Amino acid sequence: MFSNRYIFIYSTVMVIIVAVLLSLTAMLLQPRQEKNMTIAKIQGILAALNMNATPENAEELYQQYITTELAVDQNGQVTTIYKDGKFEMGEVRPFTIDLKKELYNKKMGSPFVVPLYIAEVNGDTLYIVPLRGTGLWGPVYGNIAFESNFNEIAGAYFTHDKETPGLGAEISTKEFSSQFIGKKIFNDAGNFVSVKVVKGGISTLATGQQIHGVDAISGGTITSNAVSEMLKNCLENYIVYIHNTITI
Amino acid sequence: MSAEIKEKDPLFSLKNRKLLTVPLNRENPITMQVLGICSALAVTAKLEPAVVMAISVTFVTGVGNLVISLLRKSIAPRIRIIVQLTVIATLVILVDQFLKAYAFDVSKQLSVFVGLIITNCIIMGRFEAFGMANKPWPSFLDGIGNGLGYGIILIIVSFFRELLGSGTLWGYPVLEKIGLYRLGYENNGMMILPPMALIVVGIIIWVQRSRVRDLIEDK
């Protein structure tokens, strides 16, 4: 028979061994995991430019194409400019901004800043907006690139942590994200309308509205709605900036 | 008792080989014991996550059963479930951490389901039914066998679901390449929804029992 004393000691020892083992593993693997995450973030930004970066050449391509990183505050004012590896304004690199925290601040009505990346590709200026939202099981996120008029979408990339494989997880496929190319976030009157993911397909929309919509994923309605919501929530932060800087 | 200890089984004796092969068919955890159904529905919409899931579960059942078997004499019966859960959770977190560090892409794809291995009934079922009462080596084989038995069903189910639901296999557009869509064929959207996994599992059980007739229960 086992005494209570034995059971207590046994459990304590077991828990300590497990805790040490797991913390050691986590500590040893952390640098690798963080590097993976940074590279994944860079790959995501490049993917919005329709570039397929490998983990090896991601950082190199990023330096080659992304010329400027900006931080834009809640009033649409630029607070940080990080250009060609040097700060022209501010001192925190916009790349390191934690979008999750900033969007939480936004929800709470506190001041926040959001990053904006500017790329030069074959002489064209492209704007890349990082996105983050809430899917069915966990966060959905991605990047969306705009042509120099900051209206027409040049490319999009979406990914997720926990969406259902085969259903909501399909947002990370090229078939889904390539639908966004050529869509517009402003209507002809210049008002912000975002791009919606439409259940049942954009053929159900009026002809004039189809430029602001893409087809949803069958079986992935909640994730599809999350993408719509994410686009609206993240893009509206830049409206003032767009009106101030870009004249069409 | 003493004779039993002296008489050492060779590593792959018939008895030990059976531990590996029996769960593939006659005692399959999914079709015969109806365990692990939950994840069989969730990860089988595509072939690739199903395969990685099968490998991960096989690793956890194999190593976990081994650890439990090594500890079996020291585990107080009153806290055995807690000990088993701790072992499972530790192994699963290790798998998850290593995937994140060395196979980042795969870990992103499997996402939540790696963590959900903890709740897979097969693992705990094997610890209780086998690891707690048998020697380490047979326990290890039993764990691997059951992991594979689970995996094989996952792979069969996901093969049909991906082929009929998305028209692809491992992401490769098979049906498009053979030109089926031009004949007016369309993917069956039902196949990618979880209920169809249950129906496919049902069909597998039907086929299995009609081939191995003595599995059919007496009325």
Contact predicate B171/A165, CB 8 Å:
no
| Most B CBs within 10 Å, among A3, A25, A43, A174, to test the B interface | A25
pLDDT in tens, chain A (248 residues): 789 999 999 999 999 999 999 999 999 999 999 999 899 899 999 999 988 888 888 889 999 999 999 999 999 889 999 988 888 888 889 999 999 999 999 999 999 999 999 999 888 899 999 999 999 988 999 999 999 989 999 999 999 887 876 788 889 888 899 999 999 999 888 889 999 999 888 888 888 888 999 999 988 899 999 999 999 999 999 999 998 887 65
Question: Which residues in chain A are closer than 8 Å to B42, comparing Cβ atoms?
Answer: 164-165
pLDDT at B180: 80
Query: Mean pLDDT score of chain B, rounded to an integer?
Result: 85
- When CB atoms are compared, the residue of A2, A14, A33 closest to B86 is A14
Does pTM top 0.80 for this prediction?
no
Q: Tell me, yes or no, whether B15 lies in a domain.
A: no
pLDDT in tens, B168-186: 888 788 888 888 888 888 8
pLDDT at B9: 65
Q: Tell me, yes or no, whether B171 lies in a domain.
A: no
Enclosing domain of residue B54:
29-159
**What values do phi and psi take at B68, rounded to 5?**
-60, -40
Q: Tell me, yes or no, whether B202 lies in a domain.
A: no
Q: Tell me, yes or no, whether B54 lies in a domain.
A: yes
The structure tokens 């991605």 sit at: A142
> What one-character-per-residue DSSP string does chain A give?
---HHHHHHHHHHHHHHHHHHHHHHHHHHHHHHHHHHHHHHHHHHHHHTT----TTTHHHHHHHHEEEEEEEETTS-EEEEEETTEEEE-SS-GGG--HHHHHHHHHHT---EEEEEEEEETTEEEEEEEEEEE-SSSEEEEEEEE-TTSSBEEEEEEEESSPPTTTGGGGGSHHHHGGGTT-BSB-TTS-B---EEETT-GGGS-GGGGGGEEE--TT-HHHHHHHHHHHHHHHGGGHHHHHHH---
Contact B86 A15 (CB under 8 A): yes
Q: Tell me, yes or no, whether B41 lies in a domain.
A: yes
Tokens matching residue A218: 């069958």
Please name the amino acid found at residue A98.
D
Contact B112 A18 (CB under 8 A): no
Contact B189 A18 (CB under 8 A): no
Number of domains within chain B: 1
Contact B101 A33 (CB under 8 A): yes
Q: Tell me, yes or no, whether B219 lies in a domain.
A: no
Contact B76 A18 (CB under 8 A): no
Question: Which residues in chain B are closer than 8 Å to A199, comparing Cβ atoms?
Answer: none
DSSP strand pairing (A124-134 vs A196-198) = unpaired
Q: Extract the residue ranges of chain B whose pLDDT is less than 50.
A: 1-6
The domain segmentation of chain A, as residue ranges, is 45-245
Distance from CA of B29 to the nearest CA of A (A): 23
Give the whole-angstrom CA distance, residue B16 versus residue B9. 8
pLDDT at B4: 45
Q: Tell me, yes or no, whether B51 lies in a domain.
A: yes
